Amino acid sequence: MIYIIDHNDSFTHNVVHQFSYFSKVECDNFDKIDPKKINKAKTIVFSPGPGAPKDYPLSSKIYKKYKGKKKIIGICLGFQQILYSEKAEIVEQNKIYHGFQSEVKVTSDNSIFTKNQKFKVGRYHSLKLKEPFNKNNFEITMRCAISNVAMAIENNKDKIYGFQFHPESFLTENGNLLIKKILSA
Amino acid sequence: MTTQDYLKSISKSKKPFVIYKSNKGFDLYTNFSKKIVLTNRNIHSFINRISKNKSKSKNTDLYIGFFGYEILNNLIGIKLPNQKGLKFPKGIFYKPEKKVSLESKLNYKNEDLNHLSRDFKININKKLYNKIFNRFMKKIKSGKTYQIKICTKYLNKSKIDPIDFFCRLSKTNLAPESFLIKDKEFSIISCSPENLITKKGNYISTKPIAGTLKKTKKLNKIKALNFFNNNIKENKEHNMIVDMERSDLSKICKPGSVKIIKKKIVEEYKDLYHYVSLIAGKLKKNISTLDIVKSMMPGGSVIGCPKISTLNLLNAQENENRNIYTGSFGYIKFNGDMRFNIIIRAILNYKNYSEISVASGVVIDSKANHEFNENYIKAKALIDLYK
């Protein structure tokens, strides 16, 4: 079972439907976490949402509790939530992407995706990861093809994955394949 | 009886009635056996009761009426601060005992000529609009919202004949979701173009509008489509509404069943073109009417995105009640089928005060001046009626 933690977002149920192609999914808002469900889950997903990771200390707590014990996936705010919990800085960016389709590129040899592959994705983020970001076992594996902003992270040791873009958006090509791949990783 | 005679006689009879645009023309509902004024206390039981009411099916086996903006907020757990305004009911539904089909050309002559004032007051001037605009822009930069709609209100004091208004409006602006409610103390006249919910059996669809272009002589539908498709700002604004409505539907639909049926098409109206999509899905089992109302309302395209955080920002900003504006009008049948619009392009006339509310979306690359003017374009077809 996959447990999706919602952050009062308006895209979360697209995420729920996307993961439902591959497994049973449960979803609760971040302030109404069900301890039984979360314990039962094999994978925890942090949903997109408004604001910044610092607004959701409960989600950071959950991340720290289950890191290394369950697969963890973060999307948009969820991606930032993982990084923030790993002491990264999340900052405002000059050029803001809301509802924007742009190209990302796989930039790492160690990624579960093929290096140099490019594809179109839907983006909804005001904030971004401040770089440099160095943390054991974490690697930035995709970047915006134009601005170079970090678009995906992988930690294949602890099975932690995150996308700054939205795999569930209708603007993302092959979003289901991306999810399938990280679920079977 | 001709439509003209019928409208004349119902006007004389002073009976409350409702008119709603149908495929062929209009449907008129009247002879109300019940009138339910909604409150936070009775709304749950009211909605839940309707579709359990399984008697023989007649074409009047339905409740028709509206949910105001405030009660829809309350229904999803969002409280509004104390606001000033007309103190208008939060929602009203009627049980009709009679339904009459009217042709699409509504003719009606108002003999007792209106004493119309053309004097409109606007509640937010350009300067204040700019201030609110900049405040919301900061919220966009910090990620609290990606799109937010600033609402402005035009106010007028005069006695109107709502049937006359509605007939004139439907001549110039035959909108697919237009409606009229005429009751003793108030009337609502709307040329809403936007369908929020069409539900038949387990099929449900929504048809959000995001993107407005003022008509000019040089434009036609194809050129308007080219404009929208090539305009990055309009595209982004529309995209996020499509993803949000997909998600709202996904809450109540079977996984994998939510599809974009029409993607980014153009519809033509009297003064403007709209950029529109149609999204549909198949409802999960055991989804109640209340579940549907709560996941779809208030309609996201007129609020902004993400919905809850944006509603909270709006409510903290607005010190006047929106009343009917961005609520929903429509009906719920006893068999659970329903049709609802989003109440926009509407006149609320209550105790001889008219208010017309409009809003336009602020996204990261919006310009305050442009959005302020867009609000006026949207109100124009209605303001023109006061002539």
Residues 99-118 of B with CB under 8 A from A: none
CA A41 to chain centre: 17
Taking CB atoms and an 8 Å cutoff, what residues of chain A touch B249? Answer: 13
| Cβ distance of A50 and B144 shorter than 8 Å | yes
Angle at which helices A57-66 and A77-85 pack, to 10 degrees? 70
| Cβ distance of A21 and B256 shorter than 8 Å | yes
Distance CA B385, CA B387 (A): 5
Chain B residue whose CA is closest to A49: B306
The secondary structure of A40-108 as a DSSP string is H-SEEEE---SS-GGG-HHHHHHHHHHBTTBEEEEETHHHHHHHHHTT--EEEEEEEEEEEEEEEEE--
Domains of chain A, start order: 2-184 (3.40.50.880)
ipTM for this model: 0.97
| Beta carbon pairs, A and B, within 8 Å | 106
pTM of this prediction? 0.95
Distance CA B223, CA B297 (A): 33
Count of CA atoms in the C-beta half-sphere (13 A) of B135: 14
Taking CB atoms and an 8 Å cutoff, what residues of chain B touch A49? Answer: 306, 309
Distance CA A126, CA A51 (A): 9
How is residue B227 written in tokens? Answer: 């404009």
Average pLDDT, chain A: 97
Local structure of B306: helix, strand or coil: coil
The Cα of A122 is separated from the nearest Cα of chain B by a number of Å equal to 9
Residue in A21, A50, A169 nearest the CB of B143 = A50
Q: Is B305 on the interface with A (CB under 8 A)?
A: yes
Which is nearest to A167 in space by CA: A38, A31, A17? Answer: A17
Q: Where are the alpha helices (DSSP H) in B253-285?
A: none
The Cα of B70 is separated from the nearest Cα of chain A by a number of Å equal to 19
Chain A residue whose CA is closest to B147: A98
Query: Beta partners for B209?
Result: B276
B135-164: pLDDT as tens digits: 999 999 999 999 999 999 999 998 999 999
Distance CA B182, CA B326 (A): 19
Interface test with B, best of A2, A17, A125 (most B CBs within 10 A): A17
Check residue B360 and give its pLDDT: 84
Q: Is A128 on the interface with B (CB under 8 A)?
A: no
Phi and psi of A63, rounded to 5°? -60, -50
How is residue B284 written in tokens? Answer: 């999960």
Radius of gyration of chain A (CA): 15
Residues 55-84 of A with CB under 8 A from B: 77
Residue in A17, A99, A170 nearest the CB of B146 = A99
Segments of chain B scoring below 70 in pLDDT: 53-56, 111-114
Mean pLDDT, residues A26-47: 97
Check residue B289 and give its pLDDT: 96
A153-182: pLDDT as tens digits: 999 999 999 999 999 999 999 999 999 999
Taking CB atoms and an 8 Å cutoff, what residues of chain A touch B206? Answer: none
Active-site positions of A read 76, 166, 168
Residue A8 and residue B306 in contact, taking contact as beta carbons nearer than 8 Å: yes
Distance CA B78, CA B234 (A): 29
Q: Is A126 on the interface with B (CB under 8 A)?
A: yes
The Cα of A110 is separated from the nearest Cα of chain B by a number of Å equal to 31
Check residue B114 and give its pLDDT: 61
Q: Does domain B3-108+119-383 have CATH number 3.60.120.10?
A: yes
B239-287: pLDDT as tens digits: 999 999 999 999 999 999 999 999 999 999 878 899 999 999 999 999 9
